Amino acid sequence: MTAIPQGRTRRAVTAAAICALAVTATGLTGCGSEDPDAGTNGVGKLSATAIQAKAKKAADKAPAVRLSGTVVSGGTTYTLDMRLKSDGGSGSVTSKGGGFRLLRVGEHLFLKADAAFWAHEDGESDGKPTDTAAADKLEGMYVKVPTGDPAYKRFSGFTDKDVLLDGLLSLHGALAKDGHHEQSGVRTIRITGGKGSGGTLDVSLQGTPYPVLLGRAGNAGTLRLTDWGKDFPLAEPSKKDTVDYGQQLPSS
């Protein structure tokens, strides 16, 4: 057996010790020549600003996406599950107080909700809300939202892929990289705005650099972006399932 020089042994032990210290201090999973971006699309090597630009470009070019998760606004948590593409979208928005479904095909926006959503108490007749009958009539029906009604602007944004993603993918504050991660089996690179207070965004390191997870600024919700490019049927509801009030919706 050939003897190993003591100097070489000491150097090997020293190198192993340094590697172990580096792992403990940084949380890295390996030492030596291991590259966390090996086998990826290379986006992880870019600056945070360039990563955000790549993710936005990929999102803009994708014909469809599914957006699901939570949004916190005014102390209320809303749960979204929307499927979007260039000519419209569909899905649900719910909260502790109830929820509704949205469907937009081109410029035509439809809203579907239960009677409680439509009922209000701004007027009474014989001690009863004046529009109880109307609320019962609207339950489970698709109500066409007139383009001039304030509700159109308020709700159509939930179904507009370009408008919705442009706002969501814009982090606030100075951008920085926050390491390599994994979301539902997909390797990602995370970027942050304002050291995390301005939101976080995980971008796929596999294939097209799509955004896959968004943490909204101020802990205002978390949204997953999936089914990129996956088409889905989008058609107006049948006339028998639709109520058209003309120029203005009933108050709700």
- Is the pLDDT confidence value at 216 over 80? yes
- Is the pLDDT confidence value at 171 over 70? yes
Higher pLDDT residue, 116 or 17? 116
pLDDT at position 19 is 44
CATH architecture of 43-244: Clam (2.50)
Q: Are strands 242-244 and 142-145 parallel, antiparallel or unpaired?
A: parallel
Average pLDDT, integer, range 222-240: 96
User: Average pLDDT of the chain?
Assistant: 83
- Is the pLDDT confidence value at 61 over 90? yes
Higher pLDDT residue, 132 or 57? 57
DSSP 173-195: SSEEEEEEEEETTEEEEEEEEGG
pLDDT at position 25 is 40
E-only strand ranges, 15-136: 64-73, 76-85, 88-95, 98-105, 108-113, 124-125, 128-129
Chain centroid, CA 136 distance in Å: 33
Question: Which tens digit of pLDDT belongs to each residue from 198-212?
Answer: 999 999 999 999 999
pTM for this prediction: 0.78
- Is the pLDDT confidence value at 251 over 80? no
Please choose, from the candidates 113, 121, 120, 155, the residue with its C-alpha nearest in 3D space to the C-alpha of residue 137: 113
Question: Which tens digit of pLDDT belongs to each residue from 98-116?
Answer: 889 999 999 999 999 888 7
Q: Are 160 and 102 in contact (CB under 8 A)?
A: no
Which pLDDT band, with edges at 50, 70 and 90, does 70 fall under?
very high
Domain edges within the chain: 1-34, 43-244
- Is the pLDDT confidence value at 94 over 70? yes
Tokens of 193: 């705005």
Q: Which H helix or E strand runs over 230?
A: none
Q: Are 227 and 64 in contact (CB under 8 A)?
A: yes
Percent of the chain with pLDDT over 90: 58
Number of Cβ atoms within 10 Å of the Cβ of 210: 22
Least confident of 191-195, 212-216, 240-244: 240-244
Q: How far is residue 37's CA from residue 63's CA, in Å, rounded to a whole number?
A: 27
DSSP 8-class letter at 110: E
Q: Is the dihedral angle over the CA atoms 25, 27, 33, 38 positive or is it negative?
A: negative
